[in-house]
Amino acid sequence: MKIMASVSGYTGESVTLVGLIDPATGILAIAKSVKFREVGDDGFAFVTNTRTEAYDCLFTEDHWAQAIRDYRTSEGNNTMVLGDAANRHKPRLETDGVDEKGQKYRLHADLENGEVAVLAMVHFQQRQLAINKADDAMDEWFDLITI
């Protein structure tokens, strides 16, 4: 699945990142940034933090906590790769202790659009993986009841 994430409103220029989620492995490869787009290209899932005409996923600040957990999970499981051209957008996350809900993180005050775009793409990836797992489970269940 080809994916684009367009983010604006934070530090730096507005950013559109382009990547691919490998359907066989679920690995997200974020390849590069391209000229900012307000609408996704044909054939791409489009993730954005702005309410544009058409998007597949609206990424809001309400998603940040889960997106950070998703990013850390993806890093730990090696299911996300930043290409050389996109590596400069790697989110700068600092550990800020632990509480009863788990590890806490702090984002930089000068959070850049590209960092948010990476978090948005990983959050979308993890949601897609969950959807695919649920779909696979339903297929198995259907196979069982048709035997």
Q: Tell me the pLDDT tens digit for each residue of 89-136.
A: 999 988 878 888 777 787 888 999 999 999 999 999 998 875 555 445
CA distance 122 to 89: 13
Confidence (pLDDT) at 55: 94
Asked whether residue 25 carries a pLDDT value surpassing 50, the answer given is yes
Phi, psi of 82 (to 5 degrees): -100, 120
Q: What is the mean pLDDT of residues 52-74?
A: 92
Given a cut of 60, whether residue 139 has pLDDT beyond it is no
Q: What pairing do the DSSP bridges indicate for beta strands 44-48 and 2-7?
A: parallel
Average pLDDT of 42-59? Answer: 93
Judge whether residue 23 has pLDDT over 80: yes
- Centre a 10 Å sphere on the Cβ of residue 42 and count the other Cβ atoms it contains: 6
Mapped onto helix, strand or coil, the DSSP state of residue 25 is coil
Tell me which residue has tokens 């890093």.
Answer: 75
pLDDT of residue 93: 87
Report the C-alpha gap between 69 and 102 in whole angstroms. 10
Q: Report the alpha-carbon distance of residue 45 to residue 132 in Å, rounded.
A: 15
Are 74 and 125 in contact, with CB atoms under 8 Å apart?
Answer: yes
* Residue of higher predicted confidence among 16 and 23: 16
Count of domains in the chain? Answer: 1
Q: What pTM does this model have? A: 0.84
Cβ atoms of 121 and 17 within 8 Å: the answer is yes
Q: What is the CATH number of the domain that holds 117?
A: 3.30.420
Q: In the chain, pLDDT over 90 holds for what percent of residues?
A: 64
Range of the domain at 12: 2-145
